[in-house]
Amino acid sequence: MQENPKVQDQIARIANWFTQIEGSITAFSGGVDSALVIYLARQHLGKGLAIACISDSPSLKRSDLQEAIEFCQVHDISLEIIKTKELEDEAYYSNPVNRCYACKSHLYNDLSEQLKRYPGFVVLNGTNQDDFGDYRPGLQAAQQNAVRSPLAECGLNKDAVRSLARHFGLKVWDKPASPCLSSRIPYGQIVTREKLSQIEQAESELTRLGFKTARVRHFGSEARVEVPSADLPKLEGLLQALRLHYKELGFSQTTIDQEGLVSGKLNRAIRPLT
């Protein structure tokens, strides 16, 4: 079968892009965007010149960390695991509207330290073109730290990223978006390890019950569950059992968001600022 000319063009642009750099450290989250970047870096630069680096942060799901480790093992990618300290920073844990800026600043500062061991390397991230149309304070931190975005710079949007990941046979090509756990806490409400653990355990239960995509928003004593609209009837049928389980996690109230899952829903509270 003849390869799609559009895919051929994207692959050629990416190959040309990687001729511009000597080596790279990719900020790896386990998601499809950064997975594609580190895969491409490994293919074009070689194992010793393409390092993946993931932050073992309380806001990262344990399942995402494990999947990231397995991805690197499967594709023979050098992985370094660091521990960032954003949760100790008031600019992060106080949960202002630019919390993501504080988070990415910590990450990119730590990766800049890693660069001292790899002279001539550059830091890469998984930003794609669609990200510029959303509220993402972390983009400013990337710019300030001279982080490069090969996907965006090559003109790839989210659909193109998934298509290419599938083309290369990457298992994560259709992995649902998995924003950090702190994104489940409304702005202005403190981010704590306890809350992040509650959210992770609550969402793990939904995964166990067969929901491929779900969010549990943390409203103090209330767990507000979001699943795709098509899954709402199934969730309704499990609600009583879910309430009992979530009560053990510390939620005295469990409700279903009848609108269904909307990525970035908590950003509506700050829409005039964006």
Residues forming the active site:
180
Euclidean distance between CA atoms 17 and 153, whole angstroms: 8
d(CA 84, CA 28) in angstroms, rounded, equals 13
| Cβ proximity of 92 and 99 under 8 Å | yes
Long-range contacts of 41-47 (CB under 8 A, 24+ apart): 41/124, 42/75, 42/76, 42/77, 44/14, 44/15, 44/18, 44/19, 45/18, 45/21, 47/76, 47/77, 47/78
Rg (CA), the chain: 19
In the numeric block, the tokens 């609108």 are attached to 259
Phi, psi (rounded to 5 degrees) for 117: -85, -10
Sequence-ordered alpha helix ranges (H) in 19-82: 32-45, 62-74
CB 27 within 8 A of CB 111: yes
DSSP-assigned beta bridge partners for residue 25: 51, 123
C-alpha span between 62 and 72 (Å, rounded):
16
SS3 43: helix
Cβ proximity of 223 and 200 under 8 Å: no
